[in-house]
């Protein structure tokens, strides 16, 4: 199963394409406002409004044999600890080997931003190359997760 943390997610269509190609269920989890898919493999899951509700829902369910797509690093850390395979939107895999460093970097950057209220910036734009890299990474990761679930 693929869990998609869908709020502010730029790769919903790509995730649906991979799920369809591999014949696996995709759960798109959000606080609402997303148009349902007609695809029988895609299920929309609407969680209550509130901070981190989608993250909590996914973290409570994802585990070995599952793939989680998220840009939320604390959620990624919980899912990695539960045995799920995790990808960021750009296709970067978050694993037991790198999640500690990624989480520490996220916390450091949050501290730097709070110490300098005039610090400007945002994320870089999402490119066609990012989409392509994500598609390839999700396909490989979902196939590996299917093997995890059957082994």
What residue spans define the domains of the chain?
A: 2-117+142-150
In this prediction the pTM is 0.85
pLDDT at 124 over 50: yes
Which one-letter DSSP state was computed for residue 32? Answer: S
90 neighbors 96 (Cβ within 8 angstroms): no
For residue 7, name the pLDDT band (cuts at 50, 70, 90).
confident
Which residue has better confidence, 54 or 114? 54
Mean per-residue pLDDT of the chain: 87
Q: What is the pLDDT of residue 56?
A: 93
Q: What is the pLDDT of residue 119?
A: 61
Q: What is the pLDDT of residue 19?
A: 96
What is the mean pLDDT of the segment spanning 45-63? Answer: 91
pLDDT at 151 over 50: no
pLDDT at 8 over 90: no
- Spell out a b/e string for 103-138, using b for 16 or more CB atoms within 10 Å of the CB, else e: beeeeeeeeeeeeeeeeeeeeeeeeeebbeebbebb
Q: Given this structure, which CATH class describes domain 2-117+142-150?
A: alpha beta
* Rounded distance between C-alpha atoms, residue 31 and residue 46, angstroms: 5
Which distant-in-sequence residues (6+ apart) come within 8 Å of 86 by Cβ? 67, 68, 69, 70, 76, 79, 80, 93, 94, 95, 99
Q: pLDDT > 70: what percent of the chain?
A: 87
């Amino acid at each position: 199963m693929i869990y998609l943390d869908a709020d502010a997610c730029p790769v919903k269509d790509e995730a649906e394409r991979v799920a369809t190609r591999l014949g696996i269920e995709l759960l798109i989890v959000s606080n609402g406002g997303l148009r349902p898919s007609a695809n029988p493999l895609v299920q929309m899951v609407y969680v209550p409004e509130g901070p981190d509700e989608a993250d909590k829902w996914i973290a409570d369910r994802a585990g070995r044999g599952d793939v989680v797509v998220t840009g939320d690093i604390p959620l990624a850390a919980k899912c990695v600890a539960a045995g799920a395979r995790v990808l960021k939107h750009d296709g970067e895999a978050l694993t037991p080997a790198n999640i500690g460093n990624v989480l520490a970097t996220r916390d450091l950057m949050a501290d730097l931003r709070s110490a300098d209220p005039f610090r400007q910036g945002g994320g870089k734009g999402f490119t066609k190359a990012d989409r392509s890299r994500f598609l390839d990474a999700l396909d490989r990761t979902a196939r590996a997760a299917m093997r995890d679930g059957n082994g």
